[in-house]
Amino acid sequence: MDRRDFLGSGAAASLATAAAGLPLSAAAQARPKDVLVVANEFGPNSLDIQTIGANRPAYGVSWVCYDRLMTYGRKTLPDGRVMYDRNKLEPELAESWQMAPDGGSVTFKLRRNAKFHDGTPVTARDVKWSFDRAVSVGGFATFQMGAGSLEKPEQFVVVDDHTFRVNFLRRDKLTMNNIAVPVPCIFNSELVKKNATPQDPWGLNWTRNNVAGGGAYKVEAFRPGQEIIYVRNDDWKSGPLPKLRRIVQREVPNAGNRRALLVKGDIDMTYDMPPKDFSELAREGGGVKVATMPVENAMLYVGMNVNRPPFDNVKVRQAVAYALPYDRIHEVALYGRGTKLYGGSPTVKTTAWPQPTGYATDLARARALMAEAGVPNGFETTLSLDLGGATVGEPAAILMQESLAQIGIKAQINKIPGATWRAALLKKDMPLILNRFGGWLDFPEYFFYWCYHGQNAVFNTMGYQNPKLDRIITNARFAESKPIYDSSVREMIQIAYDEVPRIPLFQPSQDVAMQANVTGYQYWFHLQPDYRQLAKA
């Protein structure tokens, strides 16, 4: 079996979970069993997920340093891999909940022994303040809450010190799931209010660099650009006490250095390396194992700003879609990993999401479309990418640049640091981007709500707006029957692919490499390791 056959078979998944018999390096053996050392490309730019521009590593801080009312259960796949179960909600800060008989609200009973990190008891007043904050601060946090019809402070009611109620605005199947994602985390309200100002009533400036939670871990040290160190909260009551006492998460930008540190045993875990490295590590073993999982509801895509010429012309966008060197990107940038989202039927026939588009490399057709669009000689533009994802993005962008030049499009590559990429996206002024997006809740209408619904959608990075599509997305979100839902989903995918403001390339894989003695790894939709579940054998 050659390398590419290996990657396309079930052998990769089997190896990804096999740890027995792998030798540990002396360095890995010498490290205490309750200390985990992690290296990644970059760390959190904020300790508060609700601050504007908080990056993906900030999601991990929220997950382990704060509690939510509920969390998700887990399921084991036939090949032994473990992931969260979107259909199973379990207690976290709330020990139980009860839906109202008329389906108009849900009432949560809080754990009476729960405390924040400073020893302050958690009450329903903290929960209400936290939910009020999430729907009021604006940006990503508020939009995420709205994705589950959590929109107004008036919805959130303190019944007594340990009872909290959410009144529903409408019947929305995503509401309960949305309460269990990282955003609606519970803050020590009095602590944050002490550090708030009239100009910053929600204390966002203070929580950017300070934790006010009661989760399983505390932040012992935060040195932006260098490391974040977690220490276990031994008074945590919202789940089984983690086995790891201390986590040292360091920033090592160079992927080759991270791989060398892992192989030598100087670190226990790393992720966000080039696909080539994960492929080789999974094949070679040598004391290291690789966990791999397709990222649900996610895609690597090319986005075009539809509000500015020339990408306001649908034929130009379609020309770009036919000009991209999909197979070369898959081979060179992804090293054969990731699911292809191109070369499918031009007619959408299923509700599967994500699914391949009908586009494939066809330069002749691309040139014809450029001529029809009135730009037969092409134009100049800028192709922007996130340096935080440059291991895949940079080679992909170079291949795109070369291919677009063949239809007259001269694209200058613009590399934006990972710490400021989210802020750059929110401006929605870049003409051409290479980006990756994944929806936390694994429903196609959730993805479309975020990425296609109106110009104000946070991750509608193309500034695309289509009132008809907006109505169809809403129909899918609140469909009263399966036929209506299925029809709406197929129609919204068809419109998105015909008008192609974003061109799907691949469904990415989440890869994590770790020492053979690290156990308990579980895939989560937010893609951050859950240190609460890890252990070292």
List 379's β-bridge partners, or say none. Answer: 409
Per-residue pLDDT of the chain in tens (537 residues, 90 and over written 9): 232 332 233 333 333 333 444 566 777 777 899 999 999 988 999 999 999 889 889 999 999 999 999 999 999 999 999 999 999 999 999 999 999 999 999 999 999 999 999 999 999 999 999 999 999 999 889 999 999 999 999 999 999 999 999 999 999 999 999 999 999 999 999 999 999 999 999 999 999 999 999 999 999 999 999 999 999 999 999 999 999 999 999 999 888 999 999 999 999 999 888 899 998 998 887 789 999 999 999 999 999 999 999 999 999 999 999 999 999 999 999 988 889 999 999 999 999 999 999 999 999 999 999 999 999 999 999 999 998 788 899 999 999 999 999 999 999 999 999 878 988 998 999 999 999 999 999 999 999 998 999 866 778 989 999 999 999 999 999 998 999 999 999 999 999 999 999 999 999 999 999 999 999 999 999 999 999 999 998
Domain positions in the chain are: 42-241, 298-507
pLDDT of res. 455: 60
List 35's β-bridge partners, or say none. Answer: 246
**Residue 182 DSSP class:** S
Tell whether domain 42-241 is in CATH 3.90.76.10.
Answer: yes
Nearest CA to 506 out of 333, 383, 352, 255 is that of 333
Check whether the bond before 354 is cis (ω within 30° of 0): yes
Predicted TM-score (pTM) of the model is 0.85
Using alpha carbons, list the distances in angstroms from residue 189 to 68, 219, 236.
14, 18, 18
Tell whether domain 298-507 is in CATH 3.10.105.10.
Answer: yes
User: What is the helix (H) or strand (E) element at residue 486, kind and residue range?
Assistant: helix 482-499
Note whether 42-241 and 298-507 share their fold. no
